[in-house]
């Protein structure tokens, strides 16, 4: 008997699901702070939210090394699932990964340990995919920058609270930097490296 007996399935309709998920992620990146829904349904391991699973199935392939935090790598289920459906190599070293899946944001490593890309190839940086409690309730953060008409307000329940403040390193690094996608269930919010964050009321 093969070991795939308990493996959750991927997208029911590969092409259309991947297209609609890509559209959601692109819209989220184009309008930082806006909450986008991922409509495509996919099976997912227990540690992964539906949104994270859909993004993984859409964006990961054999060319994108993936790093898992301890919450994701607790059981081999996520690794097996990623390997079967996406073929993406799961790496131990987070400084060479294209994507980092973070199940427990409280234990997020120093951002400096991830890849910022180089001035010649800023696209070779790590994209963090953080699973958070909520994207509609929590402390308010004001977002400014390209793609944001009036200062947008993001209310998200993120542990630890200073996490978004740590993203201010992006301003000094540009064009290098780290892009972040926050996932709560099937809702996503993107914070690209160009976005400036400040606590509401500053």
Q: Label each residue of 119-166 as H, E or C.
A: CCCHHHECEEEEECCECCCCCEEEEECCCCCCCEEEECECCCCCHHHH
Q: How far is the CB of 63 from another protein (least distance, A)?
A: 15
Q: Provide the binding-site residues for another protein, judged by CB under 8 A.
A: 1-2, 4-5, 7, 9-14, 84-85
The least CB distance from residue 43 to another protein, in Å, is 9
The least distance separating another protein from the CB of residue 82, rounded to whole angstroms, comes to 13
CB nearer another protein, residue 10 or residue 33: 10
Taking residue 75's Cβ as centre, other Cβ atoms within 10 Å add up to 11
C-beta of 11: minimal distance to another protein in Å? 7
Using an 8 Å Cβ cutoff, are 135 and 35 in contact?
A: yes
In the complex with another protein, the residue whose CB is nearer, 80 or 166, is 80
Nearer to another protein, 5 or 172 (CB): 5
Bridge partners (DSSP) listed for residue 181: 129, 190
In degrees, rounded to 5, the angle at the alpha carbon of residue 76 between the alpha carbons of residues 92 and 100 is 40
Burial of 54 (0-12, 13-18, 19+ CB in 10 A): buried
**Pick 86 or 127: Cβ nearer another protein:** 86
Measured in whole angstroms, the distance separating CA 131 from the mean position of its chain's CA atoms is 7
**Cβ of residue 65: shortest distance to another protein, in angstroms?**
21
**Between 85 and 176, CB nearer to another protein:** 85
User: What is the 8-class DSSP label of residue 77?
Assistant: H
């Amino acid at each position: 008997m093969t070991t795939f007996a308990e493996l959750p399935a991927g997208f029911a309709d590969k092409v259309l699901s991947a297209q609609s998920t890509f559209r959601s992620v692109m819209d989220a990146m184009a309008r930082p702070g806006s909450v986008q829904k991922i409509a495509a349904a996919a099976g997912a391991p227990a540690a992964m939210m539906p949104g994270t699973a859909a993004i993984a199935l859409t964006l990961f392939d054999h060319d994108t090394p993936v790093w898992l935090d301890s919450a994701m790598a607790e059981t081999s289920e996520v690794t097996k699932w990623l390997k079967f459906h996406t073929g993406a190599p799961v790496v131990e070293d987070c400084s060479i990964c294209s994507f980092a899946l973070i199940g427990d944001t409280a234990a997020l490593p120093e951002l400096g340990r991830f890849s910022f890309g180089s001035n010649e190839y800023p696209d070779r940086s790590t994209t963090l995919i953080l699973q958070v409690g909520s994207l509609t309730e929590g402390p308010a953060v004001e977002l400014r920058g390209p793609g944001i008409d009036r200062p947008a307000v993001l209310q998200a329940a993120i542990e630890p609270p200073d996490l978004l403040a740590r993203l201010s390193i992006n301003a000094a690094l540009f064009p290098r930097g780290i892009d972040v996608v926050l996932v709560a269930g099937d809702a996503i919010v993107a914070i690209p490296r160009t976005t400036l964050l400040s606590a509401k009321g500053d």
